Structure 1
């Protein structure tokens, strides 16, 4: 077994390394288990895009698809069974990690993104997925839309562990943390053991730079161009400062058995080739955070990533200055955040539709 020393050093700096991918091939070939053993991977995140790709490319689903078709399953039921089976198996691979530290060993599965603006629909599906996977180390992903916030509170209040996804801005992040704590308070009133409830808040990184850099290039001034590649890191570092403030507050301290909702850096694959391919890993090292990475980013860090110590704490003033400078050159940050949320929901809906179409076609082919 060849352990990646660079990834090990990242883990030793307090960053939980989660893989942003899952497929039956990874499970059945032992690839996921190998990443846990050799690459310090302690969690897995999934989304509709990941499952759409896995089912479109994977022949390892054929036998189960045949059985589902013979049983009269439609695409919706088939997708639920295929994806929850994969997530359940991944939870089992990571169970030893979870047993050693319940903050990790986690596998996330997302509600249908078409429910992103439907509070009650999201709550209902969160319950269904929680019961279907039936593993204590699963997390149900709920988007941080305005309609998603009460769904987060409801799910946490019922003892369901939640990965809140599609967070782009600080104000919405504060609302997410408030929704989590409100859920804990609800669970406490219901007599639920708070120590068993866990949550992460997935704060998206690279997409912020992609959109803002495009606007800076369009402005074209020297002042604007000088800000390229600075917005995403500043935004994330301000998010961490908000995390420290919220979970150091008296309100949270009245819940002594409760766990903090850890910040998770998502969308950490670099999209601009002009930037170092480990930028959103090296520059977001802080004890207690999660970084969920596509395998390409993980491999890049294993090859040449460097841990430079804590690159997040104590940089709030510097980061606020970056956002102020963006406003001065004419970037409407609130407009960027609204656009990114809408695009994020739309992209996942598109992937979900592709997944439905793929499974529908596969079921029809089996029935011929």
Structure 2
């Protein structure tokens, strides 16, 4: 194990790979990353699947069979992606068992076209859960206003959820409440709460991208907002999951919903390429990284222990200073959520186009 990645794990951060392909699975690359780089989870999205399908030959046999069976594009997307996730779940099953279900997780996203449709999101989550049929699956549900009741309903059904696309602190509190309400309903429905897990994916780098654009070049607040925002999210997490609402559920076996730092690849080359890892080290969190970022951390990351506790007042000062500069936090997070849903839609369309092309070639 690389010493820097080991130090990250020792500090309580679970390392998840933000990538998946059938080639990684069949060549043993994913298993090797679990063994040598401390990878204990995998996240996916439509763009990741589209890239894997475009670049790899491992799908040709299944694509040909799907075409012979007369599968529609949407059915082919469903079968190809769930097959990969199912196999990845199997690779990570030992991690899942060894951590009592905390890690060893693989996430798959509901069709983002349902982001603003609660009932459709719940139906898709249940369909994915049944198809993959692995206890170490996470269903990714966007944290839109319409997504919140879908999160509650999915948790209430005993299905573990990765809540994605969180930008704002207020929305994050709504996500945590949706999780707690789902646990209450699951308990009333007779589910074993100890088997239900969740992470809340708080997006990081996109916050700096949007705010830096508004600040302009050379401003001293550039590159400060995203880390401040995430640190205050952890403060909110500590408050909620040490509060009376959760303690009562914890006594019944409930698990905390861990914060997950997403979008941790640095977008601005002026910044250190490991900053969204180094500056967000704190216990009981997940950092899901592109392999490029993970390799950078292994090579020259500065893992110096907890870099979150003791920073909350400074983080509030950063957000207050941005407001004084005329940067509206509420407007920034609104724009980011709208763009995030749009990007999900675009990447899903690209995945459908890729699968359609592969079917045509088969």
- TM-score relative to the length of structure 2: 0.98
Match of 1:18, SS state, is: strand
Residue in 1 that maps onto 2:144: 145
Is the counterpart of residue 279 in structure 1 residue 250 in structure 2?
Answer: no
Q: Is residue 194 of structure 1 aligned with residue 183 of structure 2?
A: no
- CA drift of 1:48 comes to 1.1
1:39 is matched with 37
Q: Which runs of 5+ in 1 are unaligned?
A: none
In 2, Cα distance between the equivalents of 1:51 and 1:113? 14
Q: In the alignment, is residue 362 of structure 1 matched against residue 358 of structure 2?
A: yes
Who is 1:57 aligned against?
55
The separation in 2 between residues aligned to 1:185 and 1:349, in whole angstroms, is 32
Answering whether residue 246 of structure 2 is matched by residue 252 of structure 1, we say yes
- Please list the CA deviations of residues 124-168 of structure 1 after superposition, one character each: whole Å capped at 9, or x if unmatched: 000000001000000000000000000000000000000000000
Distance in 1, matches of 2:185 and 2:93, equals 28
SS in 1 for 2:163: strand
Taking the aligned partners of 1:118 and 1:83, their CA distance within structure 2 comes to 22
Q: Name the structure 2 match of 1:159.
A: 158
Distance 1:179 1:299 in 2: 35
Structure 1 runs, 4 residues or longer, greater than 6 Å off: none
Correspondence 1:227 to 2:225: no
Aligned length: 359
Q: Say if 2:303 is the partner of 1:304.
A: no
Question: TM-score, normalised to structure 1's length?
Answer: 0.96
* Aligned partner of residue 129 in structure 2, secondary structure: helix
Q: Distance in 2 between matches of 1:209 and 1:15?
A: 22
Deviation readout 1:282-331 (Å, 9 max, x if unpaired): 00000110000000000000111121110011321111110000000110
Equivalent positions of 1:101-112 (< 5 A) are 101=99, 102-112=101-111
Q: Give the secondary structure class of the aligned counterpart of 1:214.
A: helix
CA distance in 2, matches of 1:293, 1:362: 28
1:365 Cα shift?
A: 2.2
Q: Work out which of the residue numbers 15, 19, 24 in structure 1 matches 2:22.
A: 24
Partners of 1:185 and 1:44 in 2: how far apart?
A: 28
Q: CA deviation at 1:361?
A: 1.8
Counterpart-to-counterpart distance in 1, 2:6 and 2:304:
14
Q: Distance in 2 between matches of 1:82 and 1:310?
A: 40
> Shift of residue 49 of structure 1?
1.3
Distance in 2, Cα, partners of 1:336 & 1:277: 23
Please, which of 66, 71, 77 is the counterpart of residue 75 of structure 2? 77
1:103 and 1:306 mapped to 2: Cα distance? 26
- Cα distance in 2 for partners of 1:81, 1:109 equals 12
- Deviation, structure 1 residue 348: 1.3
2:202 corresponds to 1:208: no
Write out aligned runs for 1:81-96 (5 A).
Answer: 81-96=79-94
Q: CA deviation at 1:364?
A: 2.0
Partner of 1:240: 234
Offset at 1:120?
A: 0.6
Q: Tell me by how many angstroms 1:59 deviates.
A: 1.4
Distance 2:172 2:61 in 1: 42
C-alpha displacement of 1:333: 1.1
Unaligned runs of 5+ in 2: none
SS at match of 1:254: helix
Match of 2:126 in 1: 127
